[in-house]
Structure 1
Amino acid sequence: MSKVLIIDDDPTFCVMLKSFLIKKDFDAYEVHNAKQSIKAIQQQDFDIILTDFRLPDINGLDLLKSIKNIVPHTPVILMTSYANIRTAVNAIKMGAYEYVTKPINPDEVLATINNALNSVEEKRSLAKTGTRNTGAPGSFQFISGRSAVFEKIHEHIELVAPTNMSILIHGESGTGKEYVSRLIHQKSKRNDRPFVAIDCGALSDELAASELFGHVKGSFTGATNEKKGQFEVAAGGTLFLDEIGNLSYEIQVKLLRATQERKIRKVGGNTDIEVDVRLIAATNEDLTKAVSRGEFREDLYHRINEFQLKIPPLRKRGADIKEFAYHFLKISNQELDTDIQEIDEEVIDKFLNYSWPGNIRELKNVLKRAVLLEKNPSLGAANLPDEIRYPMEVDSPQSVEDDQGIALRTVTEKKEKEMILRTLEQVKYNKSKAARILNIDRKTLYNKIKQFNIEV
């Protein structure tokens, strides 16, 4: 029986979700603030954790960081309102398994929990056997799309996959960087060997060395057994390091040696181990800027960047959105045992007009939730989130501030930041639309964002 911890400051909600999970044969516990949750996690072993983003004593991202430092391998599912979708995306970067939007649907939560537990079981099997079933090309949940920009990426994949070149994949969170790396592995000469994926954002500094390179028994407190690192587990195959920019400088030094000399040394060990691994790294930040700031080693950057692929965000792949939607409709039907075959054109139109801050992952979640709630044979707009159903009319003068439109330069500096923030939020952080509404050019808007330290 899997043990679940629910963290939410709404007792009624906790009782509802706890009762539902108990009926589904889970051992469920509830706490109502971050302090109680940390105490519970330190005293008991939980298989999965569900936490609200807004808690009375700490926000969800800070709590997620604390949880990952204590139990780095326990999946955490963030529960958040749809207005906090960008926060959910940041949570994924920091190691959250997934997010679900409130008001939650119990069946949606159940499916997400089961997927998370299956993922953990797969990783345990991988650690024991050193192999992972990657299947034939196309067997995992990936679809490339047909837009011109991705056709070019696909051509590059076909060229680089058969080589042993290290690859750096750049793209926003949720754009499918791991899926692209799997495709490269499947098209490589190593496709009969393991594919191992590591989320560097979920690794604390203390555990990163052990996770990547392994440790010997007794090398640190809690090292009761010898452990294989993921470089050893991926022997002969491909090692995918997601969000590589999160690794500490010390780990970067060790990673550089592993890639240059093809040798690693376990934590606490005194002998070198030869490794034959192809490295694919991914990041959502500009590593050249991290290099200039001294946060990322320049020699390591050039080592992992023998070939670079840039994955565009979903908002720039309008030609692919309908294809993605039907792909995720098929997956949702399989997972939820439903039989919805069509998507109304109104839904597709709304998808095309939405900015998708969570990218492909968000589209998948939106489709799955809508399918779960849909009672008709065709998927309509009624079950889409309000942000997609009722997009702000950015060209309407009533959409922001007043009925006379806006001229940013006419307001005081004190009001500028407030107005910029409100406008960015209303246009889903589309800077071109925001600049047009504010009657300034994009360059001025970028300068203002930098001046006021606005997070976008």
Structure 2
Amino acid sequence: MAAQKDLKSVLLKIKLGDSETMSRITNDVLTVADSDETVLIEGETGTGKRYTAKLIHLLGKRATQPFVKVDLSLIPETLLESELFGSDNGKPGFFEMANHGTLVLDELQSVSKQLQTKLLQVIKDGKITPLGARQSKDVDLRIIATTDKSLEELVKHDCFSADLYKKITEYAIKIPAIRNRKDDIKFFAYRFLEEITGELEKQIYSFTDEAITLLGFHD
């Protein structure tokens, strides 16, 4: 418990960017993390949605429990239900893998309306029914959904469930594109640099001022 408190004290000092916009979003993250409700994170590719989801998990009461991410757009529709809810042959799905922790559903807009209805029911009831099974199973977890589309627009065009949208937007965070917050370019450049140097096991300490300036010219 003490270790979790120490972790949280460190995480509270973490920021999501240098801009005023991201400072406000950081405060939103802190507020959302204290709840245990489903969260929607909207933003274009590369805006830091997964990083934000991880931070919400680590700041919440489920920080020591599983953190499972699944990109829904990469799984064929014919396999998606069994991958999420498992099957009666005993194979666990992502919901069971994340039980008591956090399940991140990346690219939520990519699933069918039929599956959206089932997801809504799971959020409401806290129960899943594995494919082919007669009995449901209880699950206790937090769901964080991400999307790079405007779900509001998809609802207007009847391409996304209005009921599911209403449920998951009780706690919603919209992350603007980096091109609209140039003050964060240096912040993200160094964050990605840290990740890459760790993966490559090489030491690259900084960018030149010219490199940062050139990054600012790109959308």
Q: Same fold (TM over 0.5)?
A: yes
Are the equivalent residues in 1 in contact too, given 2:47–2:176 (CA < 8 A)?
yes
In structure 2, do the counterparts of structure 1 residues 340 and 287 end up closer, same or farther at CA, with 3 Å as the change threshold? closer
> Which range moved further: 206-215 or 320-329?
320-329
Q: Deviations over 1:317-367 (max 9, x none)?
A: 211212222333333333334333332211111011111xxxxxxxxxxxx
Q: Tell me which residue corresponds to 2:3.
A: none
Match of 1:156 among 28, 32, 47: 28
- Could you tell me how far 1:162 is from its partner in structure 2? 1.2
The 3-state SS of whatever aligns with 1:228 is coil
The 3-state SS of whatever aligns with 1:279 is strand
Residue identity in the other structure for 1:207:
L
Are the equivalent residues in 2 in contact too, given 1:232–1:275 (CA < 8 A)?
yes
Give the paired residue count: 211
Distance in structure 1 (CA, Å) of the matches to 2:150 and 2:192: 30
Q: Deviations over 1:411-453 (max 9, x none)?
A: xxxxxxxxxxxxxxxxxxxxxxxxxxxxxxxxxxxxxxxxxxx
Residue 172, structure 1, aligned to residue 44, structure 2:
yes
The 3-state SS of whatever aligns with 1:239 is strand
Q: Tell me which residue corresponds to 1:98.
A: none
Q: Tell me which residue corresponds to 1:253.
A: 117
- Could you tell me how far 1:194 is from its partner in structure 2? 0.8
Residue identity in the other structure for 1:273:
K
Residue identity in the other structure for 1:335:
E
Match of 1:322 among 179, 186, 199: 186
Q: Tell me which residue corresponds to 1:64.
A: none
Q: Tell me which residue corresponds to 1:272.
A: 136
Identity of aligned residues (%): 38
Residue 200, structure 1, aligned to residue 72, structure 2:
yes
- Could you tell me how far 1:272 is from its partner in structure 2? 0.9
Q: How does 1:22-421 map to 2 (within 5 A)?
A: 144-217=16-89, 226-355=90-219
Distance in structure 2 (CA, Å) of the matches to 1:216 and 1:316: 48
Q: Deviations over 1:65-120 (max 9, x none)?
A: xxxxxxxxxxxxxxxxxxxxxxxxxxxxxxxxxxxxxxxxxxxxxxxxxxxxxxxx
Q: Tell me which residue corresponds to 1:45.
A: none
Are the equivalent residues in 2 in contact too, given 1:137–1:183 (CA < 8 A)?
no
Distance in structure 2 (CA, Å) of the matches to 1:278 and 1:330: 29
- Could you tell me how far 1:309 is from its partner in structure 2? 0.3
In structure 2, do the counterparts of structure 1 residues 313 and 165 end up closer, same or farther at CA, with 3 Å as the change threshold? same
Structure 2 unpaired stretches of 5+: 1-6
In structure 2, do the counterparts of structure 1 residues 137 and 253 end up closer, same or farther at CA, with 3 Å as the change threshold? farther
Distance in structure 2 (CA, Å) of the matches to 1:330 and 1:255: 36
- Could you tell me how far 1:138 is from its partner in structure 2? 7.5
Are the equivalent residues in 2 in contact too, given 1:279–1:304 (CA < 8 A)?
no
- Could you tell me how far 1:238 is from its partner in structure 2? 1.0
Q: Tell me which residue corresponds to 1:22.
A: none
Distance in structure 1 (CA, Å) of the matches to 2:22 and 2:35: 20
Distance in structure 2 (CA, Å) of the matches to 1:294 and 1:138: 43
The 3-state SS of whatever aligns with 1:343 is coil
Residue identity in the other structure for 2:189:
A
In structure 2, do the counterparts of structure 1 residues 330 and 169 end up closer, same or farther at CA, with 3 Å as the change threshold? closer
- Could you tell me how far 1:161 is from its partner in structure 2? 0.4
Are the equivalent residues in 2 in contact too, given 1:244–1:281 (CA < 8 A)?
yes
Residue identity in the other structure for 1:270:
R
Distance in structure 2 (CA, Å) of the matches to 1:198 and 1:251: 15
Q: Tell me which residue corresponds to 1:426.
A: none
Larger radius of gyration: 1
The 3-state SS of whatever aligns with 1:227 is coil
Q: Deviations over 1:196-246 (max 9, x none)?
A: 1111111211111001100112xxxxxxxx211111111111111111011
The 3-state SS of whatever aligns with 1:215 is coil
- Could you tell me how far 1:152 is from its partner in structure 2? 0.2
